[in-house]
Structure 1
Amino acid sequence: MNNPITKLFNVKYPIVQGGMVWVSGAKLAAAVSNSGGLGLIGAGSMKPDLLRTHIIKAQGLTNKPFGVNVPLLYPGAQEQIELALNLGVKIFFTSAGSPKKFTNFLKDKGATVVHVTSSPELAVKCADAGVDAIVAEGFEAGGHNGREEITTLTLIPQVRSAVKIPLIAAGGIASGSAIAAVLALGADGVQLGTRFLMTRESSAHDNFKKLALNALPHSTQMAMRSTVPVRLLSNQFALEIKQIENQYMGDELKTKLDEHLGKYRAMNGMLNGDVDQGELEVGQIVSLIKDIPSVEEVMKELVSDYQKTLSRLPVSL
C-alpha cells in the first residue's frame, strides 16, 4: 500500500504494533518491522539501562524502521527520549500527556512524532502542536484509556473531520476486515495491540496468553475510571479493584486504590505470569483471538483477510 502512513514510516503496510508495557520488547518490535509493519518498543515499563538494551537488540534484529512508545505520565520520560535519540531512534509515539511537551524538541532533532488521542478535541491540539500523525484510540482498547469513552467506530470519523494530518486508528482491531472498516471511516493506518500481544514474539507470559485464549466477550472490564482508566482482563485482582470502587469515593477511594495497587502489579501479571493477582491489560477484541502464531503469520493473515474483505464488498449499493 502507498498511503500517508507507509510513506511517513517507510514501511510496506500501514500497520503499527502498539507499544505495550511489559509486552513490547525488541523481539516483538523487530518481528513486526521485519514483516512489513512498524514495530514499537514499549518504553513505559523500562528504566534507561533496560531501554538501551532493547533498542540495541532491536537494531541487531532488523534493518527496518522501528520506534519507541513513551508514555509521558512517567517521570523518566525525558530521559527515555534523550536516550533513544542518542541511540539513533527517529520515530517516537507519545501518549498520556500533552502533545506540546516534547514535539518541538523531537522535531528539532529530526524525529517523526505521533501522539495518541482519545477525542477529536485532543486530536486538534495534537495537530496544533505539530505532530506528524495521530493515533485515535477507541474505548475498546486495552491498557490505559481515555476518559471520554468514545468507541472506535464513532471516534475515527470525528477525528478525521477535525484534522487533516495522517490518522492511525486503534482499539478493537485484530483482523483485516477491521482494518478495512476503519480505513473506510477515514483512517490512513491502524495500530494493533492485543493481536500482537498474542504472538510468540511478545514478552507476555504464557500464563497470561493462555488465560486470554479463553476470554469471552464480557471478559474485560474498565477499572479505575476515577483515577487512571484502564481496561483489564477479568481476574481476582480486577474483581478486588471493582469491590474497592463500589465501596469508597473521593480521596478515600484514591487512597485505597493506591494501597491495593502497590508496585509491580502489571509486571507480575503480564511479564511474570501471576494471572490471579496481576494487572492484565488487554483489549475487548481478545475474545476473537484463538491462537498464538508468529508475527509473520499474523501479518500475512491480516493482509489476506483485508484483501478478501475488499473483494466481498458490493461494487455499488
Structure 2
Amino acid sequence: MAMNRVCQILKIEKPVIQAPLFWLTSPKLCAAVSNAGGLGVLGFNGGFKKPANTAEETIKGMRKSIHEIRKLTDKPFAINAFPSSIDFFGLNKNIIQLCREENVKTLVFVGQTEEEEIFKLKEEGFTLITRELNPTVRGAQKAEKAGADIIVATGCDEGGTMPRLSTGTLSAVALLSDAVKVPVLAAGGIINEKLAKATAIVGAEGAFVGTRFILSEENPASMVAKKDILKTHPDDLIVYTVMNGLARYRTTPHKFGKDGLLANQKGDFNPPTGSLYDGVIKGNLDASVNSVCNLAPLIKSIDPCKKIVEEIAKGYL
C-alpha cells in the first residue's frame, strides 16, 4: 500500500489532525494527539489558566504552552495562525514570529486564501495546512498555487466557526480533491471510522477533527460542557449566523444560541458567541456557545485521544 501523503508531509504516523479549537486546546491535548500518531495543534489561548488581556500576555502564554508540549512529546505539532485579512486579535505577526523563535515549522492557516502570505511562509520553510472559512474550489486552487501543502475541505457539518455555505463535508471533499493535486483533509462530522471511510471514498486523505477531541479525556473542556454535548438531542442543536454573515455557529441549546437565533430573525447577523473560557472551560453553559458538529449526538463516550486517533485513522490507512 502507498504511504499516506498527509503522513509523509507532516512526518506523522496517522492522518488525523486535531483542529485548533482556541481555548479547547492545551499542551496535554496536543501532546496526546501527537503521541498517538496524529498531529496536535495548539490554538490561541490553548493551555491558559485565565484570559490574556494583551498581545504580549498572549504570546508569553503561547510560548509557555509550546515549552510544555515539548516536555510531553518529541513528536511534531502545529500552531494555529490566520491571514492578516481576518486577524481578529492583532496577533498574527507575533504568533508567526513566535513560531520562528521556537522552531515550530507547521502552521494551520485558517481564513480566506491570501496567496502572497502563503507564498512568503513557504519560502521561509513552513509547512502549511490551509483552511478557508468558506472553502471554494477557486480558493483551494489559489492556495495550492501559492504553495499550500495540505488543504482542508470543511463542510457545513462542522462545529466551531462553520462556513456560511451550505456545502456538506462529502461535497466539499469531492469538489476540492478533484480540483487540486495536494492532499485534502475532511473536516466536519468526522467522529469515527465509518465517517472517515465515507470521506476517503470521495477523495480525503485524512481528517481534521474538532468535536470528537472535545469529548476526549485530555481536552480541557469542563465535564459540565462535555456531558451537555453527550446528552443533547440532534434535533435540539441551534444554528445561527455570526460575523455579519461570514460564518455560523451550531451550539447546544442554551442562552447564546437562543438569543443568537432571535437576533438573526430581527436582522442582526453579528450577535455574540460569549466567552468560551467562562462557558466551556468553566462550565457556565449560559456564558457562551457550546459548539459541535451536527453528528456530535452519535458520540457516546469520552475516550483517550489515543483511541480516537486510532479509530479515525483506520478510515484512511
Establish whether TM, by shorter chain, passes 0.5.
yes
Question: Which residue of structure 2 aligns with residue 245 of structure 1?
Answer: 264
Q: How many residues align?
A: 298
Question: Which residue of structure 1 aligns with residue 282 of structure 2?
Answer: 272
TM-aligned CA deviation for residue 130 of structure 1: 1.6
Question: Contact 1:44/1:71 (CA < 8 Å) preserved in 2?
Answer: no
Task: Read off the aligned partner of 1:54 and give its amino acid letter.
Answer: S
Question: Contact 1:221/1:233 (CA < 8 Å) preserved in 2?
Answer: yes
Moved more, 36-45 or 134-143: 36-45
Question: Contact 2:151/2:184 (CA < 8 Å) preserved in 1?
Answer: yes
Are 1:76 and 2:77 an aligned pair? no
Residues 46-87 of structure 1: per-residue CA shift (max 9 Å, x gap): 721111111111111100011012244222112111112211
Distance 2:116 2:277 in 1: 27
TM-aligned CA deviation for residue 101 of structure 1: 5.2
Question: Which residue of structure 1 aligns with residue 179 of structure 2?
Answer: 162
Aligned ranges 1:188-227 → 2 under 5 Å: 188-225=205-242, 226-227=244-245
Question: Which residue of structure 2 aligns with residue 14 of structure 1?
Answer: 15
Tell me the C-alpha RMSD between the 2 structures.
2.0
* Secondary structure, counterpart of 2:280 in structure 1: helix
Question: Which residue of structure 2 aligns with residue 132 of structure 1?
Answer: 149
Task: Read off the aligned partner of 1:19 and give its amino acid letter.
Answer: P
Evaluate the alpha carbon distance shift between residue 208 and residue 144 of structure 1 in structure 2; reply closer, same or farther with a 3 A threshold: same
- Out of 280, 285, 296, the position equivalent to 1:286 is 296
* Secondary structure, counterpart of 2:163 in structure 1: coil
- Normalising to structure 1: TM-score of the pair? 0.88
TM-aligned CA deviation for residue 19 of structure 1: 0.8
Question: Contact 1:99/1:115 (CA < 8 Å) preserved in 2?
Answer: no
Distance 2:19 2:269 in 1: 28
Evaluate the alpha carbon distance shift between residue 254 and residue 13 of structure 1 in structure 2; reply closer, same or farther with a 3 A threshold: closer
Question: Which residue of structure 1 aligns with residue 250 of structure 2?
Answer: 231
Question: Contact 1:119/1:150 (CA < 8 Å) preserved in 2?
Answer: no
- Out of 293, 303, 306, the position equivalent to 1:296 is 306
Q: Which 5+ residue runs of structure 1 have no aligned equivalent?
A: 311-317
- Normalising to structure 2: TM-score of the pair? 0.88
Distance 2:276 2:313 in 1: 32
Task: Read off the aligned partner of 1:86 and give its amino acid letter.
Answer: E
Residues 131-166 of structure 1: per-residue CA shift (max 9 Å, x gap): 111011110100112222210111111111111111
Question: Which residue of structure 2 aligns with residue 25 of structure 1?
Answer: 26
TM-aligned CA deviation for residue 193 of structure 1: 0.6
TM-aligned CA deviation for residue 115 of structure 1: 0.6
Question: Which residue of structure 2 aligns with residue 116 of structure 1?
Answer: 131
Q: Which 5+ residue runs of structure 2 have no aligned equivalent?
A: 47-51, 53-57
Question: Contact 2:25/2:219 (CA < 8 Å) preserved in 1?
Answer: yes
